[in-house]
């Protein structure tokens, strides 16, 4: 028989920020644990805080969360442009921003929500911290393919992204070898190089460039020349979108004023390919993997991690431990204050064991 948490009868759940493999697995775990173990109802909020402010959501039944474990994306939809503290609206034909938290809290009361589970990255978690301070009990679940949330060893979605990039590197290898080219592969990761590092090592990248280690173009060019001189007539360069040259700047694709993170990085792969070809005389091509890294079915690791995160998030709710984010420490699921998790980004240390191992095998990091 299900046991009911004393103070919680219904929770809300939303997915914020970019989509990510494993979101549906977390939704499934939260909802089924709530229904099966605690007798708690689950209210799904559509398109993150857009739906919370505009009153768009529905009570989830068992059938809504069955058969979704392997699906990519999120059945609830998501948005990274609807911060309730800075909510976009139109007035007189112009875009303005308003604090809509009073409306959000009114909807929470109207929906009879006793607590909320927020699935998201640093932006969603920051909002969750502020909502907790306003009296809405919140539990967070860390989601980002970038793996840059502090206080958790791994975020769900990261493993799937790494697998996708590694597969792309494997495929591009054959083209690079056949045509004797330098191939540049641009990955996501914003300001953290976790995806590029792990996938670059797993795919046998000859050069790996990450934001944490500004690169010297001359050293990159020398590496591809050296490989060419010694009979290895191709090179694979894996570059994170946030990588930048020494004394240089980030490559920004565009700026969106209505987003939590307005800077959209992109284009470093094309820029780098052009510079390598010009300086080395070697034919160079580039591939930008983009949103391919965020889509598709989650790996077995991400499905299992997402399931554990969802279950433990619901256990925090049932225990009344709000304002906390579930996290992975070693092989143990625990939790930390959300505010602590978003206090800093988790960046790749320059002496990371994987970097040391790759350097020992001859991988160039451009430094």
Active site residues: 146
Provide the β-strand partners of residue 138: 116
DSSP 364: B
| Percentage helix, strand, coil for the chain under 3-state DSSP, each rounded to 5 | 40, 25, 40
With beta carbons less than 8 A apart as the criterion, state whether 139 and 118 touch.
yes
**DSSP strand E in the chain: where?**
10-15, 41-45, 57-60, 87-91, 94-98, 115-120, 138-142, 182-187, 207-209, 235-240, 252-255, 263-265, 284-288, 324-329, 332-337
- A 10 A CB-CB count for 253 gives 12
Tokens, residue 188: 């996501």
Q: Mapped to the 3 state alphabet, what secondary structure does 106-158 carry?
A: HHHHHCCCCEEEEEECHHHHHHHHHHHHCCCCEEEEEECCCCCECCCCCCECH
Nearest Cα neighbor of 49 from 41, 60, 57, 58 is: 57
């Amino acid at each position: 028989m299900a046991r009911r948490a004393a103070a919680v009868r219904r929770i809300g759940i939303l997915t914020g920020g970019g989509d990510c493999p494993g979101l549906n697995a977390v939704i499934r775990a939260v909802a089924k644990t709530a229904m099966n173990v605690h007798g708690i109802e689950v209210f799904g909020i559509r398109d993150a805080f857009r739906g919370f402010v505009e009153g768009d959501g529905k009570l989830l039944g068992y059938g809504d969360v069955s058969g979704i474990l392997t699906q990519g994306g999120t059945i609830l939809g998501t948005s990274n442009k609807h911060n309730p503290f800075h909510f976009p609206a139109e007035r007189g034909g112009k875009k303005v921003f308003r604090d809509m938290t009073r409306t959000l809290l009114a909807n929470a009361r109207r929906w009879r929500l006793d607590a909320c589970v927020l699935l998201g990255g640093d932006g969603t978690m920051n909002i969750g911290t502020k909502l907790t301070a306003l009296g809405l009990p919140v539990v967070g679940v860390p989601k980002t393919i970038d793996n840059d949330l502090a206080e958790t060893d791994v975020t769900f979605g990261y493993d799937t992204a790494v697998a996708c990039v590694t597969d792309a590197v494997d495929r591009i290898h054959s083209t690079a070898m056949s045509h004797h080219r330098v191939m540049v592969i641009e990955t996501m990761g914003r300001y953290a190089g976790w995806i590029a590092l792990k996938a670059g090592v797993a795919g046998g990248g000859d050069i790996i460039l990450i934001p944490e280690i500004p690169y010297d173009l001359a050293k990159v060019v020398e590496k591809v020349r050296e490989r060419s001189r010694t009979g290895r007539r191709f090179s694979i360069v894996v570059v994170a979108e946030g990588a930048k040259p020494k004394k240089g700047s980030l490559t920004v694709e565009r700026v969106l004023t209505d987003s939590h993170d307005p800077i959209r990085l992109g284009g470093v792969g094309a820029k780098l390919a052009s510079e390598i070809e010009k300086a080395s005389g070697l034919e160079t091509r580039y591939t930008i993997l983009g949103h391919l890294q965020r889509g598709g079915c989650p790996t077995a690791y991400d499905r299992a991690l997402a399931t554990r995160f969802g279950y433990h998030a619901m256990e925090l709710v049932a225990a009344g431990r709000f304002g906390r984010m579930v996290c992975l420490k070693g092989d143990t699921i625990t939790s930390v204050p959300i505010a602590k998790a978003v206090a800093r980004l988790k960046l790749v240390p320059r002496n990371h064991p994987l970097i040391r191992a790759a350097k020992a095998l001859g991988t160039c990091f451009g430094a």
